[in-house]
Chains A and B, each alone.
Chain A
Amino acid sequence: MYLIKKSQVSDIAKELQKEYQVYGPVVDKETKQTMFVKADDIAEIDLAAPIPAVPPKHTVFPHYERIMAYNYDPQSKKVDINPDFDDKPKALFGLRSCDLTGVICLDRFYLGQEFVDEVYKNHRKKMFIVTNTCNVPFKQCFCVCTDSGPSAREGYDLNLTDLGDQYLVEAGSDKGKALAEKLGLAKADDSYKKKKEEIVDESILKFDSIAKDNKAWVSRVVNRVTTGLIEEKTWEYIGNQCIECGACSFVCPSCSCFNIVDSCTSATAADRIRTWDSCSYEGYTRMAGGHNPRKPVEDRRSKRFFCKLSYSQSKKYLRPGCVGCGRCQWVCPGDIGLPNVVTYIRREIQK
C-alpha cells in the first residue's frame, strides 16, 4: 500500500501515458455527459465525475470493429487475409469497481472457456487497470446487491481510495507494484487498511439514503430464475414493455454477444466487422433454417435475465452476470431495467 497526494494523482496517469493509451472518465464540456474515453490530455480525466454513461467495455470489445480485411485475387485464385484490429496497449484509469467486474465477466467469456478469442485477447493482454473506490454511491447504483463494489477486490493493477487530501494506492499486481515503486510513492502502514475499510463501510451505509433509484437483491431471485419457475405472465408483463432497442445489452458492462458481418468493399474485397449484438433482437436467435426458438419478445427477455441472474450462468462467470451499475435502467425505453425486473419477480414470489 502506498499514498499519493491528491494533487499528484494524475502523475500516475501521466506515467502510464508514456506506454499506454490512457482511457478514463471525461466530462464532455458541451453536454455534461461523462464518458469513459481515451483522454488526449490527462487533465480531462475527472476521478470525481459521475459514473460514465458508457462502460469501459468498448476498450476491449468495441461497438463496431473491423477485425479482418480480405481480398481475393481472381487471377491467382488466392485470398489475402489480413487480421486488422487495434492492439495498442491501453490503460484504464479511474475505473469503478462495477465496471472492472464487467471486464472480468468478459474475460471469462472471451478468454476463460474452451476457445480463446484472439481479437479480445489483443485488446486485453497489454492492459493496465487503475480502479477508483466509490466513497459515495450514485443514485442508480446497486453493486452492494451484486457483490461488485463499492471497492474492487481483484483484477486491478492499482486501486485508488480517496482519503480526503490524499489517495491510498493499493497494488493488485506486480505491474502495479512496479509502477508505484517507480513513481516513488510513500508507503502506507497497516493502519490505512482499517481506514479504507471504514470508508467502504460508510459508503455501503450511504446506499440507503442516496442510491434510491434501484434496489435489486439478485440473490433473492436466482433460485426462481434458475429453475424457471417464474410464471409466463410475469415474463409477458416484462416483454410487453420491451421496445427491442438493444440498449440494455449495449450499456451492460458484462454483455458479450456480438454479430459478425462481411461488408463488401469491392467486387473482390471485404471487411469483416464485429459489432455489439443484443438478445432483444428477433434475428439474434433465428437459425439458418428459419426456426426461431425465441421468437416472442418475452422469450427473448427471459433469456437476458437468465444470463444475468441464473445460477447456471453464474457458474461460467464465477459470479452473477449483473454488476449493479444501473445503466440498463437509465437507457430502457420500457420500465424493465434489471433492478425493476428483480422487483417484478420478487413481487411474484411474495404473492
Chain B
Amino acid sequence: MNYKSGICTFCGTGCGHLLDVRGDKVHGVFPLQNHPVSKGRLCVRGWNVHELLSTPERITTPLIRKNGKLTEASYDEAIAYLVENLSKYKKGAADEIGFLASPRSSNEENYLLMKLARAVFNTNNINLDSEPGHRTTLDVMHNATGMAGMLGSLEEIRKAEVILVAGIDITKQNPIIGSEIHMAARAGAKVVTIDTRNTQIAKLSSTFLQIRPGAYRIAMAYMAKVLIDEKIYDAEFVKRNAEGYDAFAASLSSLSDADVAEKTGVTTDELKAVARDLAGAKTAMVFFSSGISGFPKETVSYILNLFLLAGKIGREGCGVNPITGINNLQGSYDMGIAPDLLPGFQAVSDKAALDRFGKEWGVSLNATPGKTVYDLLATNKLKALVVVDHDETIIRNAIEISKLDFVAFMGAYKHDCMNYAHVVLPIAEYIATDGTYTNTERRVQLSKKKVEPEKGILPGWKLYATIAAKAGAKWNYAAPADVMAEIAKLTPNYAGITYDKLQALGGVKWGGARLDADKLPKKLSFAAVAGNFAVPQASEEYPILLLVGEAQHYWHQNNLMKKTNLPLREYNATLLLYPQGYVAISPQNAKELNVRDRFPVKIVSPYGSMEAMVQVTDKVKPNTAYVAYFVDEMVTKFFMEHKDVLKRGEDATIPVRIAKV
C-alpha cells in the first residue's frame, strides 16, 4: 500500500499520519485512525505536511564559502573543512565553540550531536532555544516529582472532570490536544480557561477568566490559598505523599483579597469558585505552554503546588501538563541538549553519571557545565558556532553571529542562517531515515524510513558519525537502531526501549502512562517559591502592556511553514492585510487613538520603537496589546532590545505607548 504510517513532524502532540509515498515522492497525507493520541485527526499543519516534503527549497549539496560566496563542495571537502576549523578552537572549547541544536531533530540525531560536542569537540556548550521555556518547566517538575516531563497523559484527557487551561492558545499551538479538551468538555468536563486573551478555547470553556498580563502567578497562588483557608485541599494526599507543605502555606499568607482582585483584574469570587471546583472534582488536569511562550519558574511552581495541594497529581485523569510546541522538544532534553545536562536529565556535574558516559564513549569528559550559545554570544568569546536545522529565532542574534570566526549550518531546508555560514551541510529529510521523536507526554515514537535520501544526502546520524570519524573518533553505528541501543543503555528513563518495542502504534511512554503516586521512589515536594506577587505595571507614560504570543500557521517564526503552499497562503493572507505586521488592540484603545483596523501606529517602549498596523479585536482587553512572534520582519529588531523580557515567556510584558502616525 502506498500509504505509510508515520508521525507528524510539526508540534509536540505527535499525531499519527499516513503518507502517500510513491517512489521517492510524497503525494499526500491522511490521518491515522488508530493512533492513541490523534485518533484520526490532524490540524492545518499536519494536513499539509506533504507540501513541506515536496518543497524544492531543500539544501541539496554541501557548500563552502569561497570569496564570500557559498559554492558547491563534496561531503568530504565540507566535512574536512568543518573539522579543521572546529579543531582550531578545541583547546579553548569551553568558551569558544557552541552548538545550537534543533528541537526538530530525532532523538538519535540529537544524541549524536550531543556526543559530538562533548566527546569530540570537548565542549558542553550545547543548547536549544528553550532554556527559558521548556527547560525551566522541566526543572520545576523534576525537582518536585523526579519526573522531567509532563506528569499526566493525553490519553486520559477525557477522564478529567475539571480541566484548567492557563495562558495557552491550545487550539492554535497544539490543535489536536485542544480538540481532546473540547471533546472532554462536550462529554461533561468543566473547562476553565485563564488567559489574558480571549482565545478559541476560552470561548469553548464553561468558565473564562480574562486576567491582566503577568498575573497568572498571583491567580494560582490565590487559588492555593483558598484550598488551605477553606480546608478543602487533599490533606491526606499531601501528608502521605508530599514534603514542604508548611513552607508553601506560609508563603501565601501575604496575599490579600483586595490585592488579588486588583492585580488579576478578576474577582476573588471567580477564583474561589475555580479553586473549589478543583478541590471538589475527583480528577483534574492543567495545561500550559512550556515552549518559548511558556511560564517563568515561579508561575510553574505555583501551578504545580496548587495541583499537589488538590491531590490532582499521580492519579488517572490527573496531571500537571506542560505542552511542547515543537515535535521533539521533550526528546531533545531527554537527550541532554543543555549545557549542564546529560541524557535522562542527569547532571553533567554528577560524577557517577558522567563517568558512565565517559567509559562508554572511551573519553574523559568535562565535568564543568557549559554555557548556552546565547550567553556565549553576549560575552564575545565565542569563535565557532554549529547550528542545526533551526527555527528562525537565531536570526535575532544576526549581528553577533556575523562577527564569529566560523559558522556551520546543517539542515534539510534552506534557512536564513546560511547567509552567515562558512560551511553548509545538508541533512536528509526526516522521512529518509529511521528516527524516534518524543512528544509532549513523553511518548517515544518511531518514524520509519519511507524514501531514499535525495542524491546521496546523508541522514543526520550518519553525517555526525562521519564528522566524528574525520575528527579521529571511532563510532560504530550501522543504523539508528544502534544509536537507540546506546541511548537506552545510558539513559535510565529510556532503559529497555528498542526499535522492536517501538514498532507498536503509539510507541512507548517513558515513565509510564503518567506519574504514579502509588509508586513514587521518593516523596513529592512542593516547589520552592519566593512569595513575590508583583505584577507588571503600566505607567502614565507607557499605559499599555504589550504581550507576545503564537499564531496558528507560523508558530515560532517557523522556517518550515514558509516552504509549504497552503499554510504559506494563510500566512501571506495575514501579511497582505498587515504588511508591516500587526499589533492587536482593543476597540476601546482604538477609539481613544482614533484609529481603525489596519491604520499605522508607532509603538514606543522605554527601550525602542517600531511601526506596525493595528488589528482591532475584542480578543484583547483595554490597555493590553498583543503581537504574534511570527511576523519576524517586524519584531526582530524591536525585540533585540527586549531579550530579557522574552525570557520570561507568556508572563512577559513590555510597557508601551501606542501613537497614531
State the A residues within 8 Å of B (CB): 26, 28, 30-33, 35, 37-38, 44, 53-54, 58, 62-65, 240-241, 243-247, 250, 259, 261, 263-265, 273, 275, 277, 281-283, 286, 290, 292, 330-335
Q: Are B56 and A250 in touch, CB under 8 angstroms? A: no
> How far is B2's CA from A88's CA once the two chains are assembled, in angstroms?
17
* B28 contacts chain A at the CB level, 8 A cutoff: yes
Q: Are B41 and A281 in touch, CB under 8 angstroms? A: no
Q: Are B41 and A331 in touch, CB under 8 angstroms? A: yes
Contacts of B171 in A (CB 8 A): 243, 333
**Residue of A with least CB distance to B176:** A333
Segment touching A, from B179-187, B340-348, B458-466: B179-187
> How far is B505's CA from A44's CA once the two chains are assembled, in angstroms?
21
Q: Are A241 and B573 in touch, CB under 8 angstroms? A: no
CB<8 Å pairs between A and B, sample of 8: A31-B16, A37-B1, A243-B175, A259-B569, A275-B51, A281-B566, A283-B569, A335-B183
Q: Are A35 and B1 in touch, CB under 8 angstroms? A: yes
Q: Are A334 and B18 in touch, CB under 8 angstroms? A: no
Give per-residue flags for B549-590: 1 if the beta carbon is below 8 A from chain A beta carbons, else 0.
Answer: 000100000000000011001101100110000000000000
State the B residues within 8 Å of A (CB): 1-3, 5, 16, 18, 20, 27-34, 40-44, 46-47, 50-51, 54-56, 171, 175-176, 178-179, 182-183, 186, 200, 203-204, 505, 552, 565-566, 569-570, 572-573, 576-577
Contacts known (A250-B47, A283-B570); A333 close to B18, Cβ less than 8 A: no
**Residue of A with least CB distance to B202:** A240
Contacts known (A31-B32, A37-B2); A290 close to B43, Cβ less than 8 A: no
> How far is B29's CA from A281's CA once the two chains are assembled, in angstroms?
18
Q: Are A247 and B5 in touch, CB under 8 angstroms? A: no
Q: Chain B nearest CB: distance from A163 CB in Å?
A: 29
A64-B54, A330-B33 known; 12 new pairs, CB 8 Å cut-off, are A30-B505, A31-B34, A32-B34, A33-B33, A37-B3, A44-B1, A63-B29, A65-B27, A240-B200, A246-B47, A333-B182, A334-B182
**Residue of A with least CB distance to B175:** A243
> How far is B566's CA from A259's CA once the two chains are assembled, in angstroms?
8
Contacts of A290 in B (CB 8 A): 576-577
Contacts of B42 in A (CB 8 A): 245, 247, 331
Contacts known (A28-B5, A286-B573); A64 close to B51, Cβ less than 8 A: yes
Contacts of B2 in A (CB 8 A): 37-38
Q: Are B34 and A245 in touch, CB under 8 angstroms? A: no
Contacts of B576 in A (CB 8 A): 286, 290
Of the candidates A53, A63, A241, A243, the one whose C-beta lies within 8 Å of that of B27 is A63
> How far is B573's CA from A282's CA once the two chains are assembled, in angstroms?
8
Q: Are A245 and B41 in touch, CB under 8 angstroms? A: yes
> How far is B50's CA from A315's CA once the two chains are assembled, in angstroms?
35
Q: Chain A nearest CB: distance from B424 CB in Å?
A: 19
Contacts known (A28-B5, A31-B5, A54-B30); A333 close to B175, Cβ less than 8 A: yes
Q: Chain A nearest CB: distance from B448 CB in Å?
A: 10
Of the candidates A30, A65, A261, A264, the one whose C-beta lies within 8 Å of that of B5 is A30
Contacts of A263 in B (CB 8 A): 54-56, 565
> How far is B574's CA from A286's CA once the two chains are assembled, in angstroms?
10
Contacts known (A33-B18, A275-B565, A334-B182); A53 close to B51, Cβ less than 8 A: no
Q: Chain A nearest CB: distance from B445 CB in Å?
A: 13
> How far is B192's CA from A287's CA once the two chains are assembled, in angstroms?
38
Q: Chain A nearest CB: distance from B55 CB in Å?
A: 8
> How far is B2's CA from A62's CA once the two chains are assembled, in angstroms?
14
Contacts known (A28-B1, A33-B18); A245 close to B43, Cβ less than 8 A: yes
Contacts known (A35-B18, A333-B43, A335-B182); A62 close to B31, Cβ less than 8 A: no
Contacts of A261 in B (CB 8 A): 565
> How far is B182's CA from A53's CA once the two chains are assembled, in angstroms?
23
Contacts of B20 in A (CB 8 A): 58, 63
Q: Are A275 and B34 in touch, CB under 8 angstroms? A: no
Contacts known (A30-B5, A240-B200); A63 close to B40, Cβ less than 8 A: no
> How far is B89's CA from A249's CA once the two chains are assembled, in angstroms?
55
Which has the most chain B C-beta neighbours within 10 Å: A65, A241, A243? A243
Contacts of A244 in B (CB 8 A): 44, 552
**Which 3 A-B residue pairs are closest in the complex by CB-CB distance?**
A63-B28, A333-B179, A283-B573
> How far is B33's CA from A62's CA once the two chains are assembled, in angstroms?
21
Contacts of A44 in B (CB 8 A): 1
> How far is B204's CA from A292's CA once the two chains are assembled, in angstroms?
25
> How far is B28's CA from A35's CA once the two chains are assembled, in angstroms?
13
> How far is B383's CA from A234's CA once the two chains are assembled, in angstroms?
61
Contacts of A281 in B (CB 8 A): 44, 566, 569-570
Q: Are A31 and B505 in touch, CB under 8 angstroms? A: yes
Contacts of B30 in A (CB 8 A): 35, 53-54
> How far is B40's CA from A247's CA once the two chains are assembled, in angstroms?
10
Contacts of B46 in A (CB 8 A): 245
> How far is B166's CA from A266's CA once the two chains are assembled, in angstroms?
46
Q: Are B565 and A53 in touch, CB under 8 angstroms? A: no
> How far is B573's CA from A246's CA once the two chains are assembled, in angstroms?
16
Contacts known (A64-B54, A282-B573); A243 close to B179, Cβ less than 8 A: yes
Q: Chain A nearest CB: distance from B414 CB in Å?
A: 13
Contacts known (A243-B175, A245-B43, A281-B570); A35 close to B3, Cβ less than 8 A: yes
Contacts of B28 in A (CB 8 A): 58, 62-64
Q: Chain B nearest CB: distance from A330 CB in Å?
A: 6
Q: Are B41 and A53 in touch, CB under 8 angstroms? A: no
> How far is B186's CA from A63's CA once the two chains are assembled, in angstroms?
32
Q: Are B175 and A64 in touch, CB under 8 angstroms? A: no
> How far is B33's CA from A65's CA once the two chains are assembled, in angstroms?
24
Q: Are A333 and B204 in touch, CB under 8 angstroms? A: no
Contacts of A53 in B (CB 8 A): 30-31, 33, 40
